[in-house]
Amino acid sequence: MAHSDDGTLWVAIIGAGPAGYYTAEALTAGEQDVRVDIIDRLPTPFGLIRAGVAPDHQSIKNVSRRYEATNQRDDVRFVGNLSLGRDVTLKELQELYDVVVLATGAAKDRPLGIDGEDLPGVIGSGPFVGWYNSHPDYADLDPDLRIASVAVIGNGNVAVDVARILAKTANEMASSDLAAHAADIIHKSSIKDVYILGRRGPLEAAFTPKELGELNRLENCVTLVDGNQLPDSSVDETLSGAQKKNMVALRAMAENSQGDKPVRLHIQFFRRPMAIIGEDCVCGIRLEETYVEDGKCFGTGKTEVLPAGLVVPCIGYRSSPLPDIPYDDRRGVYQNDEGLIAEGLYCVGWCRRGPTGTIGTNKPDGKGIAEKILAEVSASGRTGREGLDAIVAERDLQIVTFQDWKKIEAAEIDAAEGDAPRVKFSDLDQMVSIAEN
């Protein structure tokens, strides 16, 4: 169905993260009369920019200015504090809007699938990152960091983020927006050893050179790598640019000696998790030594137990299944054909393609889905925003608009001290009450 010009095309996007905003931007960039409501269960916009990007990576968070510009348009509205399923159903939205786009990300941790995974002290990267980033769902996590060592599983950028946040000093975090509740615990912790564990080798690692390189510039922590786990320079000419740069960083780390820094960060390759050990809580992790052939990892049968009082698996994410939405259980995404789930129902970002790429990857993703929608769906005289507002009034729901969010943001900036850009609130009632006044 081609788009007709005889009315407004009403689009509801669920999820106010990067994928949602890039989709809204692309949908409203042309001449067609398209109006978008970006709905989020939280009273705060920007999704992973706020709750996923590391608190000491403020420059990456600047991209939210672009989303803010999208929100200044009359044809785009942020509807915060409105939860799909709790406050309004998908069916209701489908009746009100010509198109519903799921941009709900991937909020569940991929399971490790080994014994001991459910022990207290095993905290997946979803909750752990959410905790130090003031996500309301995880503000009360309260991990016990009166421990000597931590095992961070995975060789991606999330593993690097988690290890770095645990290793940095209060001084190094002074210009960050690390959650106050997390700063209290992390900066009083007794952690001496942080391990980043990769099941494959340095050439297969998913972390990027810039993020890896930061680990060699920490105030109180030295990063240690076993040079025997690195390939010699004869392979360098066969490597990609990123691999080469990673090798430069890793070889520099292999030259480090402990010196007098009180914390050590060990990057260990060729170790796959076999079981998490402990009775009432985690006390270690059993690892098997591996080797890699044709990119695949195989166990050597040689195992060891690494003592650890906290295990943080950072091994990727899955989208949360939703009632009536077909789910691809293997990939952990909604079943879709290039973003199309069913007539008038689309998905974009991590819930479409899986948890890959950078924030910027969502830009072409959003543009692609917007083009597909505009080519496939016509305005059909639905009520859109007006209908949603009627439901909100009838159910006495307290939605948070973009102007309301700006009040919350101003209060967060106001509360900041020193070089910190803001104090991020995590209490939903507090945020809604600031928005109301």
Interacting residue ranges for ligand NAP, rule: CB under 6 A:
112, 153-159, 161, 198-200, 204, 206, 211, 272-273, 314-316, 355-358
Burial class (CB in 10 A: 0-12, 13-18, 19+), 378: middle
What is the rounded CA–CA span in Å between residue 265 and residue 132? 19
| Min CB(162)–ligand NAP separation in Å | 9
- Pick 133 or 149: Cβ nearer ligand NAP: 133
Q: Which is nearer to ligand NAP, 80 or 126 (CB)?
A: 126
- Asked if 310 contacts 145 with a C-beta cutoff of 8 angstroms, the reply is yes
As measured in angstroms, the least distance from the Cβ of 177 to ligand NAP is 16
Query: Could you tell me the smallest distance in angstroms from the CB atom of residue 165 to ligand NAP?
Result: 11
Report the nearest approach of ligand NAP to the CB of residue 160 (Å): 7
Q: Provide the 8-state DSSP code for 359.
A: G
Specify the residue, 81 or 125, whose C-beta has the smaller distance to ligand NAP.
125
3-state DSSP assignment of residue 134 = coil
Rounded CA-CA distance 136/65 in Å is 23
Q: How far apart are CA 258 and CA 256, in angstroms?
A: 7
Q: How far is the CB of 81 from ligand NAP (least distance, A)?
A: 27
- Find where tokens 């943001």 sit: 409
Q: How many CB atoms lie within 10 A of CB 395?
A: 10
Minimum CB distance to ligand NAP smaller for 18 or for 278? 18
- Considering the complex, what minimum distance in angstroms separates the CB of residue 206 from ligand NAP? 4
* Local structure of 213: helix, strand or coil: helix
Using CB atoms, what's the residue nearest to ligand NAP? Answer: 156
Going by C-alpha positions, the residue among 159, 163, 135 that lies closest to residue 149 is: 163
Q: CB of 48: closest distance to ligand NAP in angstroms?
A: 8
Q: Torsions phi, psi of 317, nearest 5?
A: -130, 165
Helix and strand numbers (H, E) in the chain are 15, 18
Q: With respect to ligand NAP, which residue has the nearer C-beta, 203 or 340? A: 203
Task: Specify the residue, 145 or 206, whose C-beta has the smaller distance to ligand NAP.
Answer: 206
DSSP letter for 422, please. Answer: -
Give the helix/strand (H/E) hosting 347: strand 345-347
CB of 43 or CB of 355, closer to ligand NAP: 355
